[in-house]
């Protein structure tokens, strides 16, 4: 018996990722069924990936959900396929700051008198204005910087500002939740607009978490690591989730990030304030040190 060869094969097998595709693709956090009945949820950038997964999970748990996006075609597909009056897609470029007020009025027209209860700031990009992945630091243009930072950070800041002011003035006694989608990049050294913008998301999550908590507005964030989405240049429904650089040995999937978002937006997350939860399969642990 070639014991050395047997040991080698065993070790090679142990290094292979364990991909539990049936497990990771659950659509709602266990125990939250019905938790969001009567709640109105806005998910920006909700036409695919993490945003769409979160929207579907909120809907499955009873919420009235509106998703936003810039692609009229994708929005039309969502509205045509949604077999529910509690799921609606709205065209909205959140980076258009002057247009936010008008869109919020349109939002209230769909939601009705109660307005929005939960804001999920998910809209983001790591690509320049031409849809190309941002290049090296020495090739970043001002227009590329503006496109990425305005979408990821500036739009989020002013949405929080507008929603919080409205909630405090109009519904001062009603509890609200804001969940910002950051990134594990927001905890790493950064020289590209995407990483720098996500640092900003972490900072404003902590800042607004402290500032708005006294008014019944709970602000938290989720920081995904490599996730099987278009932004990571991997299809949302990819079957091969292998990724050896992550301790878990596989990509995350949008549904897993959605689970974390739901938890933070639920009553279970009421005493968590200004936190950015790293939902990255341990990826950040490989960046910050240790072998």
Question: From the candidates 13, 29, 88, 194, which is the catalytic residue?
Answer: 194
pLDDT at 275: 97
pLDDT at 232: 54
Could you confirm whether 194 is annotated as catalytic? yes
pLDDT at 264: 97
How far lies 23's CA from each of 33, 48, 53, 238, in Å? Answer: 17, 20, 15, 14
Mean pLDDT per segment of 10 residues, for the chain of length 291 residues? Answer: 52 44 49 86 94 94 95 89 88 95 93 90 85 78 93 97 95 93 89 94 98 97 83 54 74 88 93 93 68 39
Sheet holding 64-69, edge to edge: 87-91, 64-69, 40-43, 118-121, 176-181, 217-224, 276-279
pLDDT at 3: 56
pLDDT at 261: 96
Task: Judge: domain 27-126+136-286, CATH 1.10.730.10.
Answer: no
pLDDT at 276: 97
pLDDT at 217: 97
Q: Residue 237 corresponds to which tokens in the numbers above?
A: 């429904």
């Amino acid at each position: 018996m070639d014991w050395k060869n047997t040991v080698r094969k065993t070790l090679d097998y142990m290094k292979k990722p364990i991909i539990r595709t049936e497990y990771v693709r659950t659509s709602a956090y266990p125990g939250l069924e019905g938790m969001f009945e009567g709640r109105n949820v806005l998910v920006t950038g909700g036409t695919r990936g993490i945003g769409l997964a979160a929207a579907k999970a909120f809907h499955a748990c009873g919420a009235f959900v509106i998703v936003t996006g810039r692609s009229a075609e994708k929005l039309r597909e969502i509205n045509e396929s949604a077999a529910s009056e509690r799921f609606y897609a709205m065209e909205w470029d959140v980076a258009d700051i002057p247009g936010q007020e008008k869109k919020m009025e349109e939002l209230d027209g769909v939601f009705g008198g109660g307005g929005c209860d939960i804001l999920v700031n998910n809209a983001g990009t790591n690509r320049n204005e031409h849809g190309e992945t941002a290049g090296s630091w020495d090739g970043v243009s001002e227009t590329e910087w503006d496109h990425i930072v305005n979408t990821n950070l500036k739009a989020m800041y002013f949405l929080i500002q507008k929603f919080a002011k409205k909630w405090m003035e109009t519904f001062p006694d009603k509890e609200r939740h804001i969940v910002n989608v950051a990134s594990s990049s927001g905890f790493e050294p950064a020289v590209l607009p995407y990483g720098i913008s996500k640092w900003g998301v972490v900072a404003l999550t902590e800042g607004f978490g402290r500032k708005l908590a006294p008014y019944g507005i709970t602000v938290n964030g989720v920081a995904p690591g490599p996730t099987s989405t278009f932004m990571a240049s991997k299809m949302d429904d990819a079957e091969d989730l292998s990724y050896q650089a992550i301790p878990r040995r596989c990509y995350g999937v949008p549904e897993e990030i959605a689970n974390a978002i739901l938890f933070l937006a639920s009553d279970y997350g009421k005493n968590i304030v200004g936190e950015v939860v790293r939902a990255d399969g341990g990826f950040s642990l490989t960046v910050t040190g240790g072998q």
